[in-house]
Chains A and B, each alone.
Chain A
Amino acid sequence: MKNFSETKARSFEKTCRNCSYFQNDPAFIEKEFAGLQSLSSGFASVRARDGICSHHQLYLPMEDSCSDFVLRKSNTEENRKRP
C-alpha cells in the first residue's frame, strides 16, 4: 500500500503543475494573451487553470506531462487547485 502511494505521488509530481516551465497564474495569462481581459478573464472557471509551457510553447492543462519535466523549486498552492 505504501509503495503504491509513493508511486502515485511520484507520478503526480511529474505533471505540468509541478514543472518549472509551466505557468498558469491568471494575471500572467492575462498579460500574455492580449485582449483576454476585454471580453473574458484569466480568473474565470472556463480556464480550468490551464497554463503556458515555455519549453514546448503550448497552452495546456496542468495534468499533462512530458519527458522534459523539470521540478519546480517552490510549488504554489495555485497549481493544486481546481475551479
Chain B
Amino acid sequence: MTEQTIKLGDQPQELLASQKKAAKNLTEDWWAVYLGLGIIVVAYVFYLSGSSISWIAVSPSKWSDFSQLRAQFSKNAVHYLALLAAFLVLFTIVVSFIGQKPKSFVVSFIFIFVLSAIIFAAGNWDQASRYNLEPPLLALLVGLIISNVIGLPRWLDAGFRVEFYIKLGIVLLGATLPFTLIIWAGPVAILQASIVSLATFFAIFFTARKLGLDQRFAAVLGAGGAVCGVSASIAVAGAVRAKKEDPPVAISLVVFWAILLIFVLPFVCRLLQLPTGVGGAWIGTSEFADAAGLAAAQSYGGLANAHTGITGTPEQALASYTLIKVIGRDVWIGIWAFVLAFISITVWERNKMNSKNQAAQIWWRFPKFVIGFLVASVLTSLIIHGHSLAEYNKVVKPTLIAPITSLRTWAFTFSFLSIGLTTRFRELSKAGIKPFVAFIAGVAVNIVLGYVLSVIVFGHYWANITTN
C-alpha cells in the first residue's frame, strides 16, 4: 500500500461528494434493519389480507434436466424480473444514501443477481449434493475465480456489498426463528462463545507479544481471531490507536483463514457426521467472520438428508450458528473495544495523541443489525402465537415464512458471491511471519476448543434445538 499525505484540499471531488452523502445518513447496519423489518411488515400485511408476497419472492425449485429448468424460468420470468426490480429499487436507494454511486451499483447488482440465480438453480439440481454443489460454496468459488483469474473493473465493486447483504439476511433470518429459542439458547451461546473468545484472544495476544510485536498490533490481531473477524480488527484498531499499517495485516490474515475454514469446517463436520445443529454451533464458534461462517453453516445444513446420513435440518445449522456468532460474539465488540482502549490509554506505551476513552463507544460500535434480528424474531413470534402446529404448517409457513426465507437465501447468496468477487488475494497485505504465527496459535485454540464445547460439552443441546 502506498503512503499518502491526506489533506482535504487534495481529495478528489468524488470523495468529497461521497462524504457529504454519507454524512446525511445512517450506517449500513441501520439500513439493513429498516429494510429487513420493512420487508417483514409488508409480508405480514399481505398475509393478513389473505394474500402473500410469495408472488415476488420467487426462487428456483428442484429440477433434474435442463428442459425442466428452462420451463421453470420461462414460467416465472415475470416474477424474477419483478424481484430484480424490487431489489434494485430498494438497494439503489440504500447505497445512494450511504455514499455509493447509483449508476455503478445498478450495473453491478444486475450482474450479481443473474449470477446468483444461476448458482441458486445449480444448487437445486437433484444431483447437486452428489457433486458437492452447495450454493454457498459454489457462489464463493465462482466469485473467487472471476476476481482472481478473470478480473473485473474496480467500479463494479459498488454492488459487491458483502456486509450489507449478510446483515439484511440476518435480520430476515430473525423472522424465521422463534424468540423463545433465542431466550432458551442465548445464555449457552454466550457462555460458549465467551470462553472461546477469551482463550483465542489471549493465545494470539501473548504469542504475538512473545514474538516481539507491539501491544496494539497484538490486540488488533487478537480481536480479529476472537470476536468477529475483520469487523473486530477494525473496531479495536481504532480503539487502541493502532498504526495505520496494522489493520490491513490483520484483515489479510482473517480473510485468508476465514475463506479456508468455509471449506474445511463443513468438510470435517461431514466426516464426523455431526448433526446440523452441532455443526452449526462449531462453525459459529470457530469461524472468524459472519458472512464466511454463514456460508459454511448453510452449506453444511444443506447436506442433511438420508443419502449423506447427516441428521437435523438446514434451519438448525443456521440457528445454532447465528446464536453463537451473533448473540455470543458480535454483540460484545463494543465492550472489547472499550476495555482495550482503556488499557491502551492507561497501561501501554503512550503515543503523541491526547486520547480519552468514551463509554459511549460501546453503543457506537454495537452491530445494530442485531437489533433488527431480535425485533424480527419477536414480531414473527407474536404473529405465530396462537396458531396450532397444523395451522402453522398449512397457512403461516407457506404464505408468510417461506417467502421471507426465500428472500433471505437471495440476500445470503449475494453476500457469498460478493465475498469471492471482492477477495483479490494478490492485493491483500503481506502479513509477515510473526503475525502469521501468532494468528495460527489463535486458529488452533479456536478450532479445538470450539470442537470440545460444541460437540462434547454442549453437543446434545445443539443437536436438539427447535427452530419452529
Contacts and interface: CB of A to CB of B under 8 A. Distances in A.
A44 B251 contact: no
Given A59-B237, A66-B353, A48 B423 contact: no
Given A35-B428, A44-B27, A45-B27, A56 B6 contact: no
Contacts of B246: 59
A63 B213 CA distance: 27
Given A21-B6, A64-B355, A78-B20, A44 B28 contact: yes
Nearest to A51: B238
Q: Which of A23, A65, A66 has the most CB of B within 10 A?
A: A23
Interface in B364-405: 364-368
A52 B405 CA distance: 40
A44 B419 contact: no
Given A40-B234, A43-B28, A54-B4, A60 B364 contact: no
A76 B13 CA distance: 13
Given A26-B98, A37-B422, A43 B22 contact: yes
B99 A26 contact: yes
A60 B241 contact: yes
A4 interface: no
B429 interface: yes
A25 B22 contact: yes
Contacts of A60: 238, 241, 353, 355
Interface in B203-243: 228-232, 234-235, 237-239, 241-243
B15 A28 contact: yes
Contacts of A66: 352-354
A37 B28 contact: no
B258 interface: yes
B7 interface: yes
A43 B27 contact: yes
A80 B4 CA distance: 24
Interface in B38-90: none
Interface residues on A, range: 35 or more
Interface string B417-433: 00100111001110000
B230 A25 contact: no
A35 B255 contact: yes
Contacts of A76: 8, 16, 19-20, 23
Given A28-B15, A44-B28, A66-B352, A38 B422 contact: yes
A39 B427 contact: no
B241 A20 contact: no
Given A44-B163, A54-B6, A58-B241, A35 B351 contact: no
A47 B234 contact: yes
Given A45-B364, A47-B234, A64-B355, A37 B7 contact: no
B119 interface: no
A56 B354 CA distance: 12
B162 A38 contact: yes
Interface residues of B, number: 81
Contacts of B100: 27
B364 A83 contact: yes
Contacts of B428: 34-35
B453 to A, nearest CB: 24
A43 B22 CA distance: 9
B297 interface: no
Contacts of B422: 37-38
Interface in B318-369: 333, 351-356, 358, 360-361, 364-368
Given A34-B248, A73-B9, A44 B367 contact: yes
B292 interface: yes
A25 B19 CA distance: 6
Nearest to A47: B234
Contacts of A45: 27-30, 364-368
A63 B292 CA distance: 33
Given A46-B333, A58-B353, A82-B364, A36 B241 contact: no
Nearest to A23: B6
B160 interface: yes
B164 interface: yes
Contacts of B307: none
B408 to A, nearest CB: 19
16 contacts: A20-B8, A25-B19, A26-B18, A27-B22, A34-B248, A35-B252, A35-B255, A37-B422, A38-B419, A40-B251, A41-B161, A44-B367, A46-B333, A50-B239, A58-B241, A64-B355
Given A21-B6, A48-B238, A83-B368, 6 more contacts: A27-B22, A41-B162, A43-B28, A45-B366, A45-B368, A61-B358
Interface of A: 20-21, 23, 25-28, 32-41, 43-50, 52-54, 56-61, 63-68, 72-74, 76-83
